[in-house]
Amino acid sequence: MISLVIFNKDKQELDSMDRYSHYLAAHLSEEKWQYNFFTDWNEFNGYMSDEQSADIVCVDITMEGSINLTKGIRKINKHAYIILVATIDISPMEYMRPEIMAGSLLIRKYSENQLHEVFDSAFKKYLAEFDSDEDKEDMYVLESREGRRLIPYSQIYYFEARDKKIVIGCANSELTCYDTISGLMDELPDYFIRCHRSFIINQKKIIKVVLNRNEIEMQNDIFIPISRSYKSELRRLYSDNTRKMVQADENEDF
């Protein structure tokens, strides 16, 4: 599944983007698409601030705060293709930056043909990369009946074996796939570690390992259990005085 997110405060422009996006998705790809279109800045800001995954993003950067939000989108979605909508009043120095790495730009008032050219180029370029095996080292490839979805490892907090499936835990959502914990351990980057027979966690999301409560506190108020068989290994990994992340059974900080 491919996620398309568009924010445009101009409803007429957004309607044109909506129509042409659906046309391109139907004619260029057999993948299932998820569409999220916004004209309301607060709704868009709230949606993307929840670390939502996006593959192709179009942002109207004429709203206050939109450039900073776009930087945040890029930080979370390193693989995303970003299209910007700007005006001649906004200096290119504001948005042509490495923190954004926009692939395309529309300057108001652009024509329908210009919109089509930009979207056509963006969709074809992203789909070519989506179908390629390159640049997938930083992403988990989720295969399902709905097609393939690329999830950046930076968005994944844990993998959990649950009800004969694997649950992929992200900041504010869960996805499922068919795999095994042992199989995942063979393919995941080395900063994913096992803490329980049913859990693999992303070390980069850990706030604290609390041994006296047999749990790991992670970002976004996520708590993961520690099983007895993995407790000594976690103590070894996190008892370095430079980490200050472990609480021992005696409630003392290492």
Give the tokens for residue 179. Answer: 């795999």
Q: Which letter does DSSP use for residue 251 in this model?
A: S
Give the tokens for residue 234. Answer: 């976690």
Q: Could you give the CA distance from residue 245 to residue 87 in angstroms, rounded to a whole number?
A: 47
Domain 2-131 matches domain 153-247 at the CATH topology level = no
* Three-class DSSP category at 229: helix
Query: Could you tell me the residue ranges of all domains in the chain?
Result: 2-131, 153-247
To the nearest 10 degrees (0 to 180), the angle between helices 66-76 and 41-49 is: 30
- Tell me whether the omega of the peptide bond preceding residue 109 falls within 30 degrees of 0, making it cis: yes
Give the tokens for residue 220. Answer: 């976004």
Residue whose C-alpha is closest to residue 120's, from 2, 16, 25: 25
Give the tokens for residue 181. Answer: 């914990």
Contact 175, 167 (CB under 8 A): yes
The domain 2-131: what is its CATH number?
3.40.50.2300
Q: Could you give the CA distance from residue 235 to residue 243 in angstroms, rounded to a whole number?
A: 12
Each residue's pLDDT tens digit, 198-248: 999 999 999 988 888 899 999 988 999 999 888 888 888 776 543 445 554
Which CATH entry fits the domain spanning 153-247: 1.10.30.50, 3.40.190.10, 3.10.450.50, 2.40.50.1020? Answer: 2.40.50.1020
pTM summary value: 0.64
Give the tokens for residue 229. Answer: 């068989």
Per-residue pLDDT of the chain in tens (254 residues, 90 and over written 9)? 788 999 999 999 999 999 999 999 999 988 888 899 999 999 999 888 777 778 899 999 999 999 999 999 988 888 889 999 999 999 999 999 999 999 999 999 999 999 999 999 999 998 887 766 555 567 888 876 666 777 888 889 999 999 888 999 988 788 888 888 988 998 899 999 999 999 999 999 999 888 888 999 999 889 999 998 888 888 887 765 434 455 544 443 33
